Chain A
């Protein structure tokens, strides 16, 4: 094929074709507002960094759950599973651990003379004679199983030792987690010239497994001997696999979490490469953990929805919230408290009937709602997850405490949203009765969860666009940001997020913005300001009938 152009033209005659210039890009936000973050105790999951969980892999990634009667910390697992099944697209999880947590090595060695493989667990990095060792960073409390075999390697009908093996890592129930085919020889290559060295093969497939290759015998090196129980085929022609017992290679080191442990988890979630719009408390009863989550909400401008234990009466529930002093937080509008004095069946089926928080379920409903965007990409976030349209979809619900009117008043003043039975047209149901943020305001949009949902979405979109405009020439940056804000606010207006303002400076408009280079630092700083009048939520209706003649 001959081309009619060159990429770079010198002094010669010819045609230079420049790279395609793309001015068509429209900033988009993806589906981060359908995901939530949580820090929780689980029986599986890596401990060094956050990871994503969805409804397809939740059992594999965070375990099969343990009963709440063993530890109240296990409620978080119920929340995550329920949320993923009821609207949340994925969950960014940071596992809670103490400094005493230990990840051990699963060491495979060779028994002298019989040459069969032997398995054992070692806290220390293996040393001395061993075949290979595996470090499983997904940290299963319930243990892992190793299986490995080498194919026959024959020359002239004589079987020779083989350095290439197939290694499988399974969970205790035999579910395959990883399979690697690689060599103990550091110079081994595959058909494409890539390294076939077993540790490199594992590294290329996953960052959950580390492998070390050792050496055996007097001559050194690592190999599977023809007489080994992991070599070739048995007398029936079936593959011979050496299989370990269930190896417990992870000890979570107890659950006596200190504030430092919660802080460490918070930092990992803050700097995670994954995006999320909500933070769940996972039904924690720990004020220390809640305080860290509130800090995370402030640092990331994400909404924290948390539970106040349903077995507390209103007075204790109010004390639980007030001791955290959340109203004083500069991000109090991002903190949303739910009190669910309801007993129900466990939505996951592993616990008996009991108290289960509903804040994560509220998040799940919000994630499901956010998936339904209009033509301009706006979800109906002006419709808050509360009231008649969002019933609690659990079975055998019974209300353990029915607050009096004065108690409901006290709960609302304390910014706690009760979740309880209410009667509506078409029958009663258990609902999120209110939608208040923890902001200590009386008559302000800041008190409404719907406004927190919309304003954080707008903030997120604007800051992302502003970041895209960094390092551009100032004039181009200002123009680009102005164009973006115009399109964004027109979209928010058409989605009914905004309504005309009656503030004099707004002149009857629903939105205004100002983008300009900073007066004092005009060469490097750009100021972006915007004023929006969000639509409110009807929380209270006053009805009066007047009799006339």
Chain B
């Protein structure tokens, strides 16, 4: 099974519009969706609207990746908007990779701690 994956960067450099890209790749996804986010930028970044997401720069061994739970497609779209805005401001053609965590690794049963946190974040 193929996992959904999208790489985001400054639209003026990549020629790709984030909203369309995310809509195409994650159109059929079911939410809440567990995704792995990888920072490709040479700077620490913070996207608190998704589970208080804080990622260290790409050269960092630890902390440039995180697994977060996204509870709606709208929230994923807003995350993508924020990522491309940061990428555009700083002129990064490659900024962030969002990759779906395969279903087998997704939490089962009642809500996990991560799910609860994501809901609290709104």
Q: Interface residues, chain A, CB within 8 Å of chain B?
A: 68-74, 254-260, 262, 285-288, 291, 309, 311-312, 315-317, 319-320, 322-325
For B88, list chain A residues within 8 Å (CB).
259
CB distance from B107 to the nearest CB of A (A): 20
From DSSP, what is the main secondary structure of chain B's interface residues? helix
Known: A69-B120, A73-B122. A312 touches B48 (CB 8 A): yes
Distance in angstroms between the alpha carbons of A166 and B13 in the assembled complex: 58
- Interface assignment of B105: CB less than 8 Å from any CB of chain A: no
Distance in angstroms between the alpha carbons of A68 and B75 in the assembled complex: 14
Extra 13 A-B pairs, beta carbons < 8 Å, given A72-B122, A256-B77: A68-B122, A255-B74, A256-B73, A257-B81, A288-B84, A309-B52, A312-B54, A316-B48, A319-B45, A320-B48, A323-B44, A323-B86, A323-B90
Instruction: Establish whether residues B52 and A259, one from each chain, have CB atoms under 8 Å apart when the complex forms.
Output: no
For B43, list chain A residues within 8 Å (CB).
319, 322-323
- Interface assignment of B78: CB less than 8 Å from any CB of chain A: yes
Instruction: Establish whether residues A287 and B85, one from each chain, have CB atoms under 8 Å apart when the complex forms.
Output: yes
Instruction: Establish whether residues A325 and B48, one from each chain, have CB atoms under 8 Å apart when the complex forms.
Output: no
- Interface assignment of B19: CB less than 8 Å from any CB of chain A: yes
Distance in angstroms between the alpha carbons of A21 and B71 in the assembled complex: 67
Distance in angstroms between the alpha carbons of A254 and B85 in the assembled complex: 20
CB distance from A176 to the nearest CB of B (A): 33
Instruction: Establish whether residues A287 and B77, one from each chain, have CB atoms under 8 Å apart when the complex forms.
Output: no
CB distance from A293 to the nearest CB of B (A): 11
CB distance from A93 to the nearest CB of B (A): 20
**Closest chain A residue to B80, Cβ basis:** A258
Distance in angstroms between the alpha carbons of A340 and B89 in the assembled complex: 26
The one of B46, B73, B75, B89 that contacts A320, using a Cβ cutoff of 8 Å: B46
The one of B54, B74, B78, B84 that contacts A316, using a Cβ cutoff of 8 Å: B54
**Closest chain A residue to B86, Cβ basis:** A323
Instruction: Establish whether residues B122 and A312, one from each chain, have CB atoms under 8 Å apart when the complex forms.
Output: no
Distance in angstroms between the alpha carbons of A315 and B44 in the assembled complex: 9
**Closest chain A residue to B44, Cβ basis:** A319
Known: A311-B52, A320-B48, A325-B90. A259 touches B85 (CB 8 A): yes
For A74, list chain B residues within 8 Å (CB).
122
Known: A255-B78, A259-B81. A70 touches B90 (CB 8 A): no
Known: A316-B54, A319-B45, A323-B43. A258 touches B19 (CB 8 A): yes
- Fill in one digit per residue for B77-97: 1 if any A CB lies within 8 Å of its CB, else 0: 110111011101110000000
Known: A68-B122, A72-B121, A258-B18. A316 touches B82 (CB 8 A): no
Distance in angstroms between the alpha carbons of A386 and B96 in the assembled complex: 38
Known: A72-B121, A288-B78, A288-B81. A311 touches B86 (CB 8 A): no
The one of A70, A286, A316 that contacts B49, using a Cβ cutoff of 8 Å: A286
For B44, list chain A residues within 8 Å (CB).
315-316, 319, 322-323
What 7 A-B pairs come out closest when comparing CB atoms? A256-B77, A72-B122, A256-B74, A288-B85, A320-B46, A319-B44, A285-B49
The one of B19, B48, B73 that contacts A285, using a Cβ cutoff of 8 Å: B48
Please provide the chain B residues from 25 to 71 with a CB less than 8 Å away from any CB of chain A in the complex.
Answer: 43-49, 52, 54
